[in-house]
Amino acid sequence: MLERLKQEVCEANRRLVEKGLVALTWGNASGIDRPEGLVVIKPSGIEYVALTPEAMVVIDLGGRVIEGLSNPSVDTPTHLLLYKSFAAIGGVVHTHSHYATCFAQACRPIPCLGTTHADYFCGEVPVTAPLAEEEVNENYEWQIGQSIVRRFEGVDVLRCPAVLVANHGPYTWGRSVAEAVENASVLEEVARLAFHTLALSPNAQPIAPHLLEKHFFRKHGSQAYYGQPTPPL
């Protein structure tokens, strides 16, 4: 079942290691088959070197295991809520990558200070509100998802395919799980750039709106012109 998606999700999880975005088992990637309403996600607590497509867990949007011998990732409720809330996304990634997590722990958004950031995120990468004690104590991972959904109310999630969960770490998403991994990699780099820019110049200001929009929309949307055209079929 969903053999191609299992392969893609397995490869995505392995790329998190290759890109230096996770240590130990601190992270996960998932992908969704929208027509089937099924999600493939990394099993909980399994070392990345041991991952195979066959080890991936298939679940429905209610969290019921459809296929797989292992427990799904502990972060599964967060992933499922994002899929149910944001119809445009096809993949979700969670990491504790160093610089992005520094901003999350500081409960500080990553400001858009330059064009590298603007190429992928149309403005600052936001941070969620800290969870209250009762939210942590009941349905914790689902509450994390709720905090992300609240933060993106009225926002196009593909214009900013990333968020920092306060005191915790980053989540990214994309139209596919491969794109979600790319966004996680870019997020870590722009967090690193912002960290060092603010160290050099604590009063550095966000990029001007006209330059931000130029860089974002030349790569995204109906008027994008960056890269090569798709060849005709």
Catalytic annotation, residues: 119, 226
119 closest CA partner among 195, 19, 220, 188: 220
Q: What is the DSSP letter of 43?
A: B
CB 123 within 8 A of CB 220: no
The full length of the chain comes to 233
Question: If you write DSSP's letter for every residue of 99-141 in order, what string do you get?
Answer: HHHHHHHTT--B---SHHHHTT-SSPBPBPPPPPHHHHHSSHH
